[in-house]
Each structure stands twice: as structure tokens, then as C-alpha cells.
Structure 1
Amino acid sequence: MTTEEEQNTTRPPEAVPILKDDSTSGEIIVAPNGRTPGSDDPKEEDNLRENIHSSSTRGAVAQSLVAGAVFLLTTCCGIHVGYSAILLPQLKAGNSTLPTDDELGSWIASVQSIASPFGALLSGLLMDRWGRRATLILCTVPFTASWIILAFASHHAVILTARAMAGFASGLTIAPTQVLVGEISEPRIRGILTGTNFLSHSIGILLVYILGAFMEWNVVSGISAVLPLLSFVAFVLLPESPVWLVRHNKIEEAEKALRWLRGGGIQAKRELQQLVSRYRPEKVEGLMKNGGELTTKSISSCCQDLSKPHNLKPVIIVSLFYLIQVISGTYLVIFYAVDIITQAGKSEGLGLDRFLAAVLTGAARVFFAIVMCFLLMCMGRRPLLILAGLLQTLSAFSAGTFLYLKNRINITDYEFPACKPVIIASILVYVASNTCGYFSMPGIAMGELLPAKIRGSVGGYILAGTYLGFFVTTKIFPWLCDLLEVHGVFGLFGVTTAVGTFIMYLFLPESNGKSLLQIENYFWQPNFFWVGRKMVLSRRETKSEDYEMQVRR
């Protein structure tokens, strides 16, 4: 490798002339960091940054409409995730028309995780080839079909088939929703808009808990078919991601989409210039490698992209994030909410109806998802995650300790009247902190940290691995409860959450208030540990300048 080639692999693309501005006699040159080189007026630079990163009212409303369409579809994903918690107890009941044992029940709960990786893998390919919006339109078809089939199911095989279809649809949906919202949002409001994805997920879980407490499982399925139909109509009326359009040389469509999303022409033009400036070198490189023809990204080219440190580093961080989500019990508590609460209370119970307790955990998840959306606007991603991780660790250990005292030491209510309330409070705090942390943050990290060049394909691969992890943990959970009992399971959750939070403390970069291009520029730097990099910057006493200019000094 030549010296020039080595330099090109350790620095972000340079600024290039891209578009004419009618108000000037020459071409505008916009660097990837959003600044116009050659300007000596600090006020002019400040005004430019403010113009680029501030959102007009019309633009904020437009971006919120896109997030609203995503909201409908991810609510359907939440209903699907929480559905087994109301389906299994009804199937296992003595008067059930479809008697179900624990082994078959574990397959009903986990079969969606078998199908989800296939949807996740396909979503990466479809996002890159057809676009984010088109992929989400496609997602509504298997979702609608699965709920209709489930509503009329009369055999276990039909239930398993419908659950697998819903799992495939869920896997197909998650990555495009996170990527689309991340790409259409401006830095100032990206936190709250990406947070609504997980708020809707939580609302879907709570909704299915409430419906399941009063209705039969097949009636709940029929009602659930309405949401994907509504989201289909919404996505048909909305624009495609400007990032995807620029990367596929659809500049006019990208400018039209940006004008609508930003509520004005000036800001849309400047942002378009930044996007073209960033992705033109990528396009030229692709044309040279493929004999002058644009082709769909292959697995070999994806592996070549991953061999570059500025692409590999965010992939490792996001992958670790999702691994921690799997092993810290995030979705196990959702899948088996009613069973966990039933086993926690044993014969005496916790003083709450088991379905009411599940609804209570769902309500706590929704409330704190709303809180999280506002915290994302005023707090950094790192402090919010670390705080949530510490609370989740403490609450898991607390729940495990008091469950041990109640179920193994057999402490009575007379000896320790606060035992049951402490257990209930610990479980609720666990759910609340998990909602603000490992339930939502991995998805936000995927939409923000992964470079646009690999965001679609690699995001799908990461989610596929995550869903395989969900399948394994969901399938072995009943066995794990028999082996460790509920108090031991919560203790295990506490250990994995503590270790995961320490790992994220070392590696996770702060992305709050930064544009996606600025975040990409960070990973061109040689540092891998965020903590060490912050110490270097603090010793140099850097001022509050542009994010990229700080890391490039």
C-alpha cells in the first residue's frame, strides 16, 4: 500500500465543490463537518452552523409525521413482542380449547425469534436496494397476514406459523425504522424522534397486556391487524430517506425530500451539499471497482468495508450493545411477564392479580419511555445509559435478594411486612431503568453510530444475530427458572447488566447534538476507547467548537 493510500484510510473525505448557489458567482464548498472553508468571520460560521442544525416549525412537523408513521408500525411490533405473555396463560388454562404444556408453550414464545433473523437479514439487502420507506411498506404485508391468520387459528401448528410470520415481519421492520428516523431527523430533535420508536414499542406491549386481561387471544389478534394497514397508508404518502436518495444518485428527489423535511429551501440545499460532498468519493470508488456501473453491495464488498477501522469500530460497539440487551433479560421479562410474576409469588402470590401485575409493568415501561424521550433532548446518551444501567443492576439484585428471602428462607409477612412491596417495587424499577437503557439505546446507537455506507446491510446482520440470541434465551428460560429459580435469574440479570454497563462506559461515544456526518468523522480517529479520548481533549482544554474540529486537532 502506498503512502497516499495509507493516508486516505485514516482521514475522512475532503471537501469537494458540489453545487452552484444562485446568490454567489462561484461554487460553494462544504466540508463534511458542515463548515465552509475559507471563511474568517466567526459570526458567519456560527450562523451557518445554526442554520444547518436548527429546525423550523414546518420541518419539525414534517419529521414528526415520518416518526408518526414509524410509530404505528413499531406499535405493532410491541404488540407482537408482548403477545406471548397473554397468549400462553390462556392456552395453559384448564378451560382452554387448545391445551398447551410448557414445552409447546416455549416454542410458541420463541418461534418468532427463529423467523426474525431471516427478516433482519433481508431488511439489510432491501434497505440498500429499494430504500428504507419501500422496505417498511413491504413489512406491513406479513404483519397483517399473521394477525388475520392468528385470529382464526384452531390448531397449534397454525399458531406457530402465524407467530413465525409475525417474527419475520418484526425482523424486517426494526432496522429500517431506526435507520429511517435517524436519517431524516436533525440533531436537535433526533433524540426525541428516535425515542418515540421505543415509546411506541412500549405502548404496544402495554396495549396487548390490557386487551389480554379482558379479551380472548384470537380477538386481540383481529384488533391488532388494523395497525399495519394504517401504517401502509402513511408510508405511501411520505418521502424516502434523503441519505439513501443521494447515495443512489437521485439528487432531485433528495432535494425535494429535504425541502419538505426541513421546511425551507436554504437549509435543505446546504444539507444536500454536505450529503453529496460526503458520498461522492464513495460513489466514485464504487464506479472504479465495478467498471463504471453502480451495483448492489455484495457480501464480499461488505467484508471489505468492515476491514476498515472507521467502519469496524462502530460495528463492534453496536454489536456489543445488542449482546448486552440479549443477556441482561430485556425481552425475557416482556415475553414471560405473567409467568415471572406468578413464580415470584409462588403459592401466596404478591398480593396482585398476575395479569394486573403484567399491565403494571407495561404501564411503567410506557411512562418511562415518555420520560426517556425528553431526557434524550436534555441529556447525553452516555450519562443516561450509565445511570439506567446502574439502576437496572441494583434493582435486579434487590429483586433477587428479597425473592430469595421470601421463597427460600420463607420469611413471612408478619416477620417482614415490606418484603412483597419491595419485590414489586424492584421489578418496576428494573422495567423502568431497562426502558431508558438497554431496551431502547441499542436501536438508537444503530441509527446514529453505523456509517451510512454499511448502515442498511450490517444493521440487518447485527439484528439477525440478536434475534438468534433472543431465540436461544427464550427457549432455555423455563429450564433456567427451574435451575436457578426466579431469584437466581434476577441475580444473573444483575451481573450481566453490571458488566455490560462497564463495557459501554469504556467504548460508547457521545452522539447527542451531533449530525450523522460528524459522528462518522469521529470514527476516523485512531482512538477506540471513548474515555481515553475525552481525557486527551480535556488536557488540551479544547473549546466548544465544532465536534469534528475537536477530534482532528
Structure 2
Amino acid sequence: MTPDDPEETPLLLRPGVSAPRGRLFLAAFAAALGPLSFGFALGYSSPAIPSLRRSAPPTLNLDDNAASWFGAFVTLGAAPGSVLGSWLVDRAGRKLSLLLCTAPFVTGFALITAAQDVWMLLGGRLLTGVACGIASLVAPVYISEIAYPAVRGLLGSCVQLMVVIGILLAYLAGWVLEWRWLAVLGCGPPTSMLLLMCCMPETPHFLLTQHKPQEARAAVRFLWGSDEGWEEPPIQAEQGFQLALLRQPGIYKPFIIGVSLMAFQQLSGINAVMFYAETIFEEAKFKDSSLASVIVGTIQVLFTGIAATIMDRAGRRLLLTLSGVVMVFSTSAFGTYFKLTQGRSSNASHVDLLAPVSAEPVDTSMALAWLAVGSMCLFIAGFALGWGPIPWLLMSEIFPLHVKGVATGVCVLTNWFVAFLVTKEFSSLMEALRPHGTFWLASAFCICSVLFTWFCVPETKGKTLEQITALFEG
């Protein structure tokens, strides 16, 4: 039989399945509240650090080193969270894993709210990071298993869309809320996810692997409105992940692609930009850095939404390539800005390096300031168009079902580990390579990502998961 044969194609991946989209989209939205929560956690540090420095008691004063740890602890916690998520998703199920991750989200933000010293702040950030690791792995898997090919790109891209909405929400709320109330607000999205996911079904595929065909059929009826014409597909015997499986092209090829995509996504410098958005704009002499951060967040939401709407028409590969090219030019231009404005003294401080030369005419400084703002906005737009949503979408598409838990866990672990390194060492890179060298290094990684996409990443648009597996197997 061919991969297109309905007897061999998993129930949720058959093309042409007619379904009312309301319940399907509601289930996807409920799962995507997890990414919204970790987007809020990512964006929280940007307004919270200045607020802590302004209004916190002496026991909570953050120096530069403590502030960098405060920003990076989310990614540090997300690494073990992704490992835990890879274990939960195959044993507890997709739905229960999402429900469980609400506990560390709420507990972490509650700990930050009640913080009396720096260690409580860092502990709260670590707990929210663990929840971020679980949600970032489980949500794409849940959504991919309830979606059919015609809308899988749209719904899969909503994972990243909700992340950037969460970041923008943190920026907007940071205008009017100080850090404690901002943490209280952070408890809202995971609580909403807990309430909504209680009303959503487990994915039919997972139910079938647990030998529950009646529950799987009920889930199909709930999500699609009807199970008419659906025949229960045969389920293969469960296979645990073994290193020997990496010899198979259908395993090692998507494994290399998934890990590389996650690494390139973070090496572009996006997390450093988002964590320190206000700081970057302040040092670029932008008058209202809070407004600048909101503008950046709005651009990211807008272009991620555009990517979601065209994903199933334009394809993953084209958008990744276009996105990478835009990021190459924008990071190069931003590096050029810092090269033109840096001080000449070899022992200048990090802040001195970022300050425009005072002897320059005012109009020249203003022109360079707009170059910085334009480059940053172009970078955010380019990233949101492809390298933001697509690695997470492809991660949920390219792995065979019997190794999906472990393989996606390794990919998410790679993403968060590289994100931690980039975020924690961003300031050190700015000092060692100087600002222009740091952004030119990011530009070099973006060039590598374009080449990798062009030569190694296949197109998965409109294909069933089994067709994608067959593509890797040759």
C-alpha cells in the first residue's frame, strides 16, 4: 500500500477530512496557552529588572551579574523541563502533561510575588523555566496530533504566535505594573489553560496506543464533529528509543535536522534581543525604551501571524530561507551601527562601547539611531516570518511516532540549552567581541542557517506524517 492509502494513514492526518473547525481550534488554543505562558515568562525579565532596581527593597537589589542570572534562569530550568516533558508525553499522555505543567508555572510566579531575597526570585524563575520546557515540547505534539494536513501549518505556527503574544503582554503590562503585580498577572494564562484543557480530549493517536479505541473515536467526534467514514488504523507494537535506531535514515536524518534547526534558531541571537530589548534600545539612545520594546513585540506578533496564515501555501522551506536572508542583512546592519558609533578607547566599558560618539553632529546621530531601530525591527520581522515558528512546527512533524517523545525532548533540550548559553553570555560576548563583532557573529550563524535550509531541510507542506517519514527513509 502507498502512504496515501487510507488504511495506512493515521486518523488525524488524512487529507481532505471535513470537519467543523470550532472545537478543533478551541482545543489548539487551549494547548497554546502553555506557549503563551512561557512567552510571558520570557518577556517578564525585560520590564521586571528595571522595576526591581527602582522599587525593590535592599535585599532584592540586582547587580549586573544577578540581573543576567535572573534573565537566564528560565532557560536553565527549561532544560530539565524538556527532559521531564519527553518522559511525560509518552507515559502520562499529551493532555495530562499540559495539565501538570500549570503547577510549576503558577508556583514559580507565586514565589516571585512573595520573594524576600534574590534566591526566591531565582527559584521562581527556575520553576517557571521547568514549566516552559514541558509546555514547549508537549503543546506542538498535541496540536500536530489533532490537526489534519490542511491546517497543520496554521495551527502549528500558532505555538510561536502565542509565545510572542505572551512576550508582548509582559511588555505592555510592564508599563503599568511593578514586578510583583506583573508576576501575579503571569499566573493567569496557565490557570486558564488548566480550566480549558480539562474540557478537551486526549489526542486520538495516544488513546489508540493505550488500546482505547472507543475513547479515540469519541475524541474524533468531539474534534471533528463526526467519525463517519473513519476506520481505526492498525497500531504497531510500541517501540522504545534505542541508540541502534539512529542507524536508520528515517531516524537520524530528522534527528539531525531537528537539533540543527533548534540550535540555529537560538544562535541567531533572538533570545538575547528579547531578554534585553529595553537595555539595547537604551544604549542605542532611543528616548523611550519601553515603547521601543512594545513596538518590537507588536512587529513580532504581526509577522508571526502572517507566517501562520501563509504557512500551508508558501511552505516551510521557502519561509525559512526568506527569513534567514532578512536576518543576515539586519544583523549586519545593526553591527555596522555599533561599529560607526563605538568609542575609540580600547579599555572602554560595555556601556561606553554602545554610546554614540559625542563629537558627531546631531543629524548624523539621529540617522544612526534610526539605523539601529530599523535594523532591530527588520530582524524581528524576519525571525517571526520563519525561524520563529517553523523549527517548532517541523519538530512536531518530522519524527516517527514511536520515537517522538525522546526525539522532541532532545530537540527542545538543545533549544533551551543554547538559549541559556546565548542569554547568559550575551554581555560577555559584547565585551569580548565588542558590540559590532557580536552582531556580525550572529549574522554569520544566520548565513549558515540559510545554507542548511537550502541543502538539508525537506518541504513538509501538505504531507501526512507517514509521507514525511517515507521521505526520510528514501
TM-score in same-fold range (> 0.5): yes
SS of alignment partner, residue 90 of structure 1: helix
Distance 1:34 1:356 in 2: 54
Tell me whether 1:398 sits opposite 2:333 in the alignment: yes
Q: Does 1:366 align with 2:280?
A: no
CA deviations on 1:49-93 (whole Å, 9 max, x unpaired) are 9x94224352x2222011110222211110001111112222334
- Provide Cα deviations, 1:310-356, integer angstroms capped at 9, x if missing partner: 1111011000001101211121111111122222x2xxx13x31111
Shift of 1:487: 2.5
- Aligned residues of 1:127 and 1:176 also touching (Cα < 8 A): yes
Superposed displacement of residue 266, structure 1? 2.7
Measure the CA separation in 1 of the matches of 2:32 and 2:55. 37
Q: Does 1:77 align with 2:77?
A: no
Q: Distance in 1 between matches of 2:98 and 2:288?
A: 38
Q: For 1:33, give the aligned amino acid.
A: D
**Is the 2:304–2:388 contact (alpha carbons within 8 Å) kept by the matching residues of 1?**
no
What is the rounded CA distance, in whole Å, between the counterparts of 1:94 and 1:122 in structure 2? 36
Tell me the equivalent position of 1:56.
Answer: 18
Deviation of 1:521 (Å): 1.4
**Residue 184 of structure 2 is aligned to residue 213 of structure 1:** no
Q: 2:319 pairs with 374, 384, 387, which one?
A: 384
Asked if residue 448 in structure 1 is aligned to residue 397 in structure 2, the reply is yes
Q: Is the Cα contact below 8 Å between 1:53 and 1:187 reproduced in 2?
A: yes
Structure-to-structure mapping, 1:44-443, within 5 angstroms: 52-58=14-20, 60-93=21-54, 97=58, 98-267=60-229, 269-270=230-231, 272-273=232-233, 276=234, 279-280=235-236, 282-283=237-238, 286=239, 297=240, 301-343=241-283, 345=284, 349-350=285-286, 352-408=287-343, 410=357, 411-415=360-364, 417-443=366-392
Letter in 1 for 2:313: C
Aligned-pair CA distance for 1:500: 1.3
| Residues 429/415 of structure 1: CA separation in 2 closer, same or farther (3 Å cut) | closer
- Report the AA paired with residue 61 of structure 1: G
Deviation string, structure 1 residues 464-506 (Cα, Å, up to 9, x no partner): 2322222222111111112233332221111111111111111
User: Is structure 2 residue 432 aligned with structure 1 residue 461?
Assistant: no
Kept in 2, the 8 Å contact 1:199–1:369? The answer is: yes
Equivalent position of 2:350 in the other structure = none
Letter in structure 1 aligned against 2:392 = G
Q: Which amino acid aligns with 1:34?
A: D
Instruction: Kindly provide the amino acid, as one letter, of the partner of residue 363 in structure 2.
Output: Y
Q: Do the aligned residues in 2 keep the contact of 1:92 with 1:100 (CA within 8 Å)? A: yes
Distance 2:94 2:179 in 1: 32
How many angstroms does 1:119 deviate by? 1.0
Say if 2:413 is the partner of 1:478. no
Deviations 1:410-454 (A, max 9, x none): 453334753222221110010111112222211011111111111
Q: Specify the code of the residue in structure 2 equivalent to 1:447.
A: S
Structure 2 partner of 1:512: 461
The Cα shift of 1:376 comes to: 0.7
Question: 2:6·2:14 contact (CA, 8 Å) conserved in 1?
Answer: no
Q: For the residues of structure 2 that align with 1:451 and 1:339, how far apart are their CA atoms?
A: 43
CA distance in 1, matches of 2:178, 2:432: 32
Q: Which residue of 1 aligns with 2:352?
A: none
Task: Return the letter of the residue paired with 1:397.
Answer: S
Distance 1:64 1:426 in 2: 35
* 1:523 paired residue number: 472
**Residue 7 (structure 1) aligns with:** none
Q: Is the 8 A contact 1:119 1:169 kept in 2?
A: yes
Which residue is 1:3 aligned to? none
Post-superposition CA distance 1:208-238 (Å, at most 9, x none):
0111122101101111112111101111111
More divergent stretch after superposition (257-266 vs 329-338): 257-266
Contact 1:330 1:438 in 2 (8 A): no
Calculate percent identity across the aligned residue pairs: 27
Q: Is the 8 A contact 1:310 1:524 kept in 2?
A: yes
Shift of 1:307: 2.9
Moved more, 149-158 or 304-313: 304-313
TM-score (norm 1): 0.79
Q: CA separation in 2, counterparts of 1:429 and 1:460?
A: 31
Q: Distance in 1 between matches of 2:55 and 2:186?
A: 26
Letter in 2 for 1:108: F
Separation in 2, partners of 1:338, 1:420:
15
Could you list the runs of 4 or more consecutive aligned residues of structure 1 that deviate by over 6 angstroms after TM superposition? none
Answer whether contact 1:402 1:422 (CA < 8 A) is retained.
yes
| Contact 1:114–1:468 (8 Å) recurs in 2 | yes
Partner of 1:40: none
> Residue 94 of structure 1: CA displacement?
8.0
**Shift of residue 103 of structure 1?**
0.9
**Is there any run of 5+ residues in structure 1 with no aligned partner, and where?**
1-14, 16-30, 38-48, 287-296, 526-553
RMSD: 2.1
What amino acid sits opposite 1:363 in the alignment? T
* Alignment match, 1:12: none
Determine helix, strand or coil for the equivalent of 2:387: coil
Partner of 1:531: none
- Alpha carbons of structure 1 residues 381 and 101: separation in structure 2 relative to 1, 3 Å: same
Q: Kindly report which structure 2 residues correspond to 1:2-81, keeping only aligned pairs within 5 A, or say none.
A: 15=1, 31-35=2-6, 52-58=14-20, 60-81=21-42
Give the AA of the match of 1:314: P
